[in-house]
Chain A
Amino acid sequence: MSSTKLYLYTRFERFWHWAQAALIIVLLVTGFEVHGSFSLLGFGTAVTVHNFCAWTWLVLYAFIVFWIITTGEWRHYVPTFVKMFEVIQYYMSGIFKGEVHPVPKSERIKHNPLQRITYLGIVSLLVPFQIVTGFLYYVYNDWLAFGWALNLFTIAILHTAGAFAMLAFSVVHIYMTTTGHHPLSHIKAMFTGYEELETKEKM
């Protein structure tokens, strides 16, 4: 099997990917500790670290959104149904038969239809949802002053539900990185920026 290299991920793109990865991991760990699932840092420290990471991510998120809009990268997140069925079929059967991915990566198409819809959903729904519910949770003591008649239980439940969704996504996402040309090639690409592409010719 031979391969060609394609520069797909710019420096800032790689930075925000890994920065978010780190933030998500720390937020999940500290968040579930605050939730009471386990005891690791101690409740007080977990809250402080969680809040710090949340603010960090909020700033980073603003930069990412700005970058995606201004660089035109948003085009890669426009949802499409073209070849979606083929991609689903590929992951359900083709991958076991050694077939070639129906939507090969290119400079024009960085994400397959499944990735597009997932990433768009996360960046435009799940993350803002976590920001909003998390912020409401954070300003709990000022609800009365703001005149909000909210219930902490409801807010906490919503925020936790978002966390579970993020955790489930992370599991699948991490697994999917192993489906490249080589089990580590997608991960490597997120460090170097170069994605190795499978070529049509076979040995």
Chain B
Amino acid sequence: MLTRLNTYCSRFFLVMAGCCCFYIVFVETSFGNQLTKEPDKTYGAEQARKVSQPAKRWVTTDHSRHTVLQQEFASPEDVTKACLTCHNEASRQIHKTIHWTWTDPADSEKLMGKNGLTLNNFCISIHSNESRCTSCHAGYGWKDGQFDLSKEEAVDCLVCHDTTGTYEKFPTKAGYPAIKPTKFGKKTFQPPNYTVIAASVGRPTRTNCGVCHFFGGGGDGVKHGDLDSSLFNPSRELDVHMNAEGANFTCQRCHSTDAHFIAGRTYKQPAFTDRRSLIEDDLVKRISCESCHTATPHALGHKANDHTDKVACQTCHIPAFARVKPTKMYWDWSTAGKMKDGKPYKVKGAHGKASYMTKKGRFVWEKDVQPEYFWYNGKMDYLLVTDKIDPNSVVKVNSVEGDRNDPDSRITPFKVHRGKQPYDSMNMTMGIPHLFGKDKAAYWKGFDWNNALEVGMAAAGVPYSGEYGFVETEYHYPITHMVAPKEKTLACDTCHAKDGRLATLAGFYMPGRDRSGLLDFIGWFTVIAALIGVIIHGIMRIISKPKEQ
């Protein structure tokens, strides 16, 4: 009996010793990795490096040797016609994209988009302001509601394919470059040398995309906060993918293109819907971080890998936006129209940017801005100019879709641009002002809201009652560019803290942030009661001791 017990005991001990060895291996792989070792090269990073290597392109033509391009071009449309002699599908491809239609291709009713009935809280809407807004359209001559969107030669090939850096559209000419040297503000715009530019066309660079997308809202960094001119040549600190010493990504590295269709989010359509990576499918669009980095991009056993189901990569990897150039955070149209000595004026504010302009009202610019965080499934909902609003609460011109219980939703950083803008106070709809133009009704000429709204809303085909007011609004931009290097990512306790960045996201338990007040009260009460108890007991022992002797 006793010997059998002995055998069992020694067997048990062997098992325990085995467990011990297993444990040492476990510690070596998990704990060791997290605290001491540099993360090993993971497959995601490996894949990312492969993708970031300069691609060998099979360029099989030298555009300077095409006789059709060796001519004096009378107009930019003639350049397009020349392009189309070879690239005979190109214009029709462009015509299907949002770059051309300015409405969301995913929206069958064509309501979503700048040419639809959506708005923002910057210059609000293009209707009646076309010749100013469409300076960024990839086309020529969209100066009013009559523009023919089916014209093939109106497509602007050069704005995307110029590699000389000399092709520029004039800001107020509905997408046309200058015909003769023309001053705009402090800058003089030169007419482009089409022959030289056409001879050297190539694949779009970051500059081609940037000349429009870095200046959204009509100025550097105005709109997005994560897209501004600092990305033309960013430091590693600012953007780990795009900096020249590193991978020097072009925009298309992630915004993969296919017959002029460029991957990316549109009004109703998420940038991507499947979360496959290049490892699973080598034809996958590279638009998401996961496409290259996989859903478990960190070293094996690293806690951050467990976060990718609920937290977007951007949340930790973009600690702040507008890190180099300031971005507009607040725009109050209701204060516009004040005159100094009967003339419009400007006030310079922080960051060398205007804090007040008679034309536009009061602004707040900010730099190095901490994002706001929302559950986001990749879709946004947009208010239409025909939708009823409640002027007593902040109107969400667009809103973030997503919910913590939705498996497609991740906690994602956003820039929220706040403002005050006109609305129709009888119809309870948002207003579209006619801002730009030489006519008296244009707000920037006549400074009369009533006239401006009447003309603007008529141009959009929506009713205006003749009564207006101003309402507080919010506009949301997902923050997804300006990815910081890994050593600049957010630390755990930026969010896992009582007043951390995620303090406003309710409805779920987050360690470090949430606790039960009742349990803490009972717990600390018990501990303190025990402490007081033993202190009293100890004091009584000390006092009673001399009595004993």
Residue positions of A touching B, CB distance < 8 A: 34-36, 39, 42-45, 47-48, 51-52, 55, 59, 62-63, 66, 70, 91, 95-98, 140-141, 151-153, 156-157, 160-161, 163-165, 167-168, 171-172, 175, 178-179
Contacts and interface: CB of A to CB of B under 8 A. Distances in A.
Contact of B526 (A35, A36, A91, A164): A164
Interface string B498-516: 1000000000110111111
B306 interface: yes
Contacts of B519: 157, 160-161, 164
Contact of B491 (A44, A52, A95, A164): A44
B16 A66 contact: yes
Contacts, number: 113
Give the 9 A-B CB pairs with smallest separation, nearest first.
A164-B523, A98-B548, A175-B534, A44-B492, A43-B493, A96-B544, A153-B509, A43-B492, A141-B306
A91 B537 CA distance: 9
- Chain B residues touching A, majority SS: helix
Nearest to B26: A55
B35 interface: yes
Interface in B495-549: 496-498, 508-509, 511-516, 519-520, 522-524, 526-527, 530-531, 533-534, 537-538, 540-541, 544-545, 547-548
B522 A164 contact: yes
Interface string B19-61: 1100100110001001100000000000000000000000000
B9 interface: yes
Interface of B: 9, 12-13, 16, 19-20, 23, 26-27, 31, 34-35, 303, 306, 309, 491-493, 496-498, 508-509, 511-516, 519-520, 522-524, 526-527, 530-531, 533-534, 537-538, 540-541, 544-545, 547-548
Nearest to A175: B534
Contact of B540 (A55, A96, A140): A96
Contacts of A39: 493, 497
7 contacts: A36-B514, A39-B493, A44-B493, A63-B16, A97-B547, A160-B519, A167-B523
Q: Which of A47, A52, A168, A172 has the most CB of B within 10 A?
A: A168
A42 B31 contact: no
A107 to B, nearest CB: 22
A164 B306 contact: no
Given A34-B511, A164-B524, A172-B530, 8 more contacts: A35-B512, A36-B498, A36-B512, A42-B491, A48-B31, A96-B540, A97-B544, A164-B522
A55 B27 contact: yes
Contacts of A35: 511-512, 515
B544 A59 contact: no
Contact of A96 (B13, B23, B508, B541): B541
Nearest to A39: B493
A195 to B, nearest CB: 20
B303 A36 contact: no
Contacts of B534: 171-172, 175
A157 B31 contact: no
Contacts of A66: 12-13, 16
Contact of A156 (B511, B527, B541): B511
A42 B493 contact: yes
A47 to B, nearest CB: 7
